[in-house]
Amino acid sequence: MPREVAARDRATGEVEDLRAELAQLRGQPDTARRKADDARVEVEQSDRARVRAEATSDTRREVLDSLRDNNRDAGPASQS
């Protein structure tokens, strides 16, 4: 009888281990989905920041070009 009890206890322990593993595996798709959603948000924010940086750069370049053109148009007489 003690062998049967020990075998039952081992089997019960294995079942509990399998249940715990199953619970962990069931949570993985949800975790992966959340991580993918977070990554998507980060990509969108990064893309918006890149677009803003490009627009700022373009604006600064236009202002500098305009200032250079104005200096050229003014000619050497206005320079001190």
Q: What is the DSSP letter of 37?
A: H
In whole angstroms, give the CA distance from residue 69 to residue 3.
97
Domain-wise residue ranges, the chain = 2-62
> What predicted TM-score, i.e. pTM, was given to this entire model?
0.55
In whole angstroms, give the CA distance from residue 68 to residue 77.
15
Dump pLDDT digits (tens) for 28-63.
Answer: 999 999 999 999 999 999 999 999 999 999 999 999
Quick one: residue 47, left, alpha or beta (phi over 0 = left, psi -120 to 50 = alpha)? alpha
Q: What is the DSSP letter of 23?
A: H
